[in-house]
Amino acid sequence: MNSSLYQCRIFHKRLKPVTRQFAYSVFMMSIDLDELDQLNKKLWLFSRNRWNIYSIKDADYLTQDSSLNIKEKLFAFLKTKNINTNNIAKTILQTFPRIFGYQFNPVSFYYLENSSGKTIATVAEVGNTFLEKKLFLIDQNHKPDWFRLITAKNFYVSPFSKVNDHFDFQIGPKKQTWAVNINDLDQDGIVLVSTIRGKQKTLTSLRLAYYIIRYPLLTARIIFLIHWHALIMWLRKLPISNKSNTAADQTNVLRPHKSLTKNNHG
């Protein structure tokens, strides 16, 4: 099986207008999208498209088109970017699963590999607490086996960052160790540093059972931490960006919230 798990440490450090940092431990699933049905049969704590302690639902990813699975929706996006999907032999999704039915993914990553096992591109699927999503194709070589993209966000991620800031994605290879850097940039430099560092583990039912104890209610904990640290920054009187007032700057948003009009989200 190509699918596995990654024990990860996520780190955030805000550099301005105030300094604040925090880190927390998580795990992410690394799933070969062609193995989803096999995993559904093999792992008694994991299911596809139905409730379990851990589950992946096709409807949670990319567009809301219920007639397509994750891979089909991803390939439809890639074709809009003039990517020849015939060259893709394997697609690996790095993501947080639903846990006890609850789903929240601040970011997921898709690794696109050719028949030789070489990654030819990656896609980041960034989400926010409004359950909106935005896709970023990251296919520019940065250094050996790494991909990088600096691009305008045009997406509401946090009330404490501007939608017209830039993302600096630096995506490392999916090996026994895994590293990702995503920095938030304004016109004067880095505003927020975010990193993921992971170690690969075998995907088994026994390990998933252990993770119930090690990472209890993981996805609910992530959303709690986001709101907890947002409260602290609000108490420190950081400037807030209003989502509705910046609707015109939010483009190509999937699953747009009611704060965006049809003409605003691209």
| Residue 236 in this model has a pLDDT that exceeds 90 | no
26 — pLDDT class (breaks 50, 70, 90): very high
Query: Can you count the helices (H) and strands (E) in the chain?
Result: 4, 14
Chain centre to alpha carbon of residue 69: 18
Rounded Cα–Cα distance for residues 139 and 145 (Å): 11
Residue 110 included in any domain? yes
Residue 265's pLDDT is 47
259 — pLDDT class (breaks 50, 70, 90): confident
Rounded Cα–Cα distance for residues 87 and 84 (Å): 6
Total tally of structural domains belonging to the chain: 1
pLDDT digits (tens, 9 = 90+) for 134-166: 999 999 988 889 999 999 999 999 887 889 999
Contact indicator for 8, 28 with CB cutoff of 8 Å: yes
Instruction: Give a three-class secondary structure readout of 83-134.
Output: CCHHHCCEEEEEECCEECCECCCCEEEEEEECCCCCEEEEEEEEECCCCCEE
| Residue 234 in this model has a pLDDT that exceeds 70 | no
Residue 64 included in any domain? yes
Q: Over the chain, what is the mean pLDDT?
A: 91
H-helix segments, the chain:
36-42, 70-80, 205-214, 218-235
CB atoms within 10 A of CB 220: 13
**% of the chain residues with pLDDT over 70:** 95
Residue 261 included in any domain? no
Lowest mean pLDDT segment, chosen from 15-19, 21-25, 193-197, 223-227? 223-227
**Structural domain containing residue 240:** 4-249
Chain centre to alpha carbon of residue 247: 22
Residue 266's pLDDT is 47
pLDDT digits (tens, 9 = 90+) for 42-74: 999 999 999 999 999 999 999 989 899 999 999
Question: What tokens appear for 7 in the block?
Answer: 């024990």
Contact indicator for 135, 254 with CB cutoff of 8 Å: yes
Supply the pTM of this predicted model. 0.92
Which has the closest alpha carbon to 211: 16, 29, 69, 73? 29
78 — pLDDT class (breaks 50, 70, 90): very high
Residue 254 included in any domain? no
Question: What tokens appear for 70 in the block?
Answer: 């994750």
Rounded Cα–Cα distance for residues 243 and 68 (Å): 30
Strands of the sheet with 54-56, listed across from one edge: 46-48, 54-56, 98-99
Residue 54 included in any domain? yes
Residue 153's pLDDT is 96
> In a 10 Å sphere around its CB, with 0-12 CB exposed, 13-18 middle and 19+ buried, how is residue 176 labelled?
exposed
Question: What tokens appear for 51 in the block?
Answer: 């409730």
Residue 142 included in any domain? yes
